[in-house]
Amino acid sequence: MTIKEVENRIRSFSYDKENLDQESVEFLQRCHLDERKGIQSIIRSYLKQQQKHQQELLRSHNMYNFEMELWHKGIVTIAGTDEVGRGCVAGPVVAAAVILPLEPMILGLNDSKKLTPIQREELNVQIRLQAIDIAIGEVDAQTIDKIGIVAATFAAMKQAIHQLMFKPDYILVDAFAIPGLDIPQSNIIGGDGKAASIAAASIVAKVYRDQKMVEYHAQFSDYGLNQHKGYGTREHMEAIRTYGFTPLHRKSFLKEITF
């Protein structure tokens, strides 16, 4: 076979060792013995990607450790919750609550901030297809100004949890415990990168909020909301100085701004 033919065939192989049939395994073994530099380069590249895939499988499996521990105790309806938009100067703070099934596991779940927009979009689709239940909570800028961002964040989380169709037996929450919640909970520091259901909530909330800010851009097109999503970038602050506040802006976050 030519080097190109070998490359095309190996490209069709799964990186998951368990999904490789005997014929594919034998083909790879023969390629190992092929002394052509091009073939050896292809094999090295494939093995490197296979190793990355195996590491991701292990990481993704470990993301379910918190849920597994609870499932083994007979606690099966577990909701993860997380928020996005807390540090923005415009737009709502949004929280999601997600209940995931034991199987199948969703590969690639992680803190939404560590994922690309495309990865978040793809995972959001998977989560929405596989989740047992999903709900969104949000608190607008006026309410944030009135009660403060901390209270608003907890309000959004409670709203999301209470809007779930299935009442959770247990809540996993990122960072800080939710005060006044009548459901047992565990707060996990860095939970959106450690617990699958929290990561799923992080992704769902992020995609939802980003889409909402893009929609707001059609109404307030001078502020670049579709780009910065409400964060206080230099361009955003300049737009506020030029055009003033919109109903989306958190004035309590912008006390120092001068016109």
Q: What is the dihedral of CA 9, 109, 123, 216, to 10 degrees?
A: -140
Identify the pLDDT of residue 259. Answer: 67
Superfamily, domain 76-217: Ribonuclease H-like superfamily/Ribonuclease H (3.30.420.10)
Backbone phi, psi, residue 93, to 5°: -90, 130
Model confidence, pTM: 0.88
Q: Alpha-carbon distance 253 to 234, whole Å? A: 15
Helix (H) or strand (E) holding 139: strand 133-139
Parts of the chain with a pLDDT under 70: 259
CA atoms within 13 A on the CB side of 242: 9
pLDDT digits (tens, 9 = 90+) for 5-45: 999 999 999 888 888 889 999 999 999 899 889 999 999 99
Contact 152, 57 (CB under 8 A): no
Contact 232, 224 (CB under 8 A): no
Identify the pLDDT of residue 257. Answer: 79
SS3 257: coil
Q: Alpha-carbon distance 123 to 110, whole Å? A: 10
Q: Alpha-carbon distance 89 to 77, whole Å? A: 35
Q: How many CB atoms lie within 10 A of CB 5?
A: 9
Ligand-binding site membership of 235 (annotated): no
Ligand-binding site membership of 182 (annotated): no
Identify the pLDDT of residue 16. Answer: 85
Ligand-binding site membership of 83 (annotated): yes
Q: Alpha-carbon distance 181 to 129, whole Å? A: 28
Q: Alpha-carbon distance 3 to 135, whole Å? A: 51
Angle between helices 117-130 and 196-219 (to 10 degrees): 120
Q: Would you list the domain boundaries of the chain?
A: 3-62, 76-217
